[in-house]
Amino acid sequence: MRKARQTRSLVAAWFDFLAPAEAPVAFALHKTIRAVAPDLTDVIRQGNLLMSMNGEPLLAIAPVRDRVHLLIFSGSDLEHELGAMDGAGRRQRLVKFAGGAPVDVARVERIARVCVDFCRRRQQLADGR
């Protein structure tokens, strides 16, 4: 089965479909993450904005009834660096942001940096460097 390539305009249109309380928070999260890691790839998956590096999912912005979750795919491996986060699954953790509330930019920048560094370290180990 072929996959359609997602254009920037499709990703940009995703923000237009968000609830009024969710849109500014999601936009602030995305802008902050992209400032730290401009080489991430954005795609829409299951209604969420997924950001990946070299095909490996790192983060996702997930709107949920008047709030926005920042999903961290390797969150269980990063709790020692980022502190306790919500979620009890095997790997994924999340940080919740209230709709309409200001985003803690410093925290989001730290999450993005730690996730990108972790991904690069894992890829270097996989490549045998």
44-57 confidence digits (pLDDT tens): 998 999 999 988 89
Tokens of 4: 């359609």
48's enclosing H/E stretch is strand 48-53
Position 29 confidence tier, pLDDT thresholds 50, 70, 90 = very high
What pLDDT does residue 2 have?
47
Taking only the tens place, the pLDDT of each residue in 60-108 is: 999 998 899 999 998 888 888 888 888 877 889 999 999 888 999 999 9
- The token duo for 23 is 């849109």
Predicted confidence band at 19 (pLDDT cuts at 50, 70, 90)? very high
Per-residue pLDDT at 4 exceeds 70: no
Q: How far apart are CA 70 and CA 63, in angstroms?
A: 9
More confident residue, 112 or 76: 112
- Roughly how many angstroms between the first and final C-alpha of the chain, as a whole number? 35
Residue 112 structure tokens: 């993005």
Task: Characterize the bridge pairing of strands 41-45 and 48-53.
Answer: antiparallel
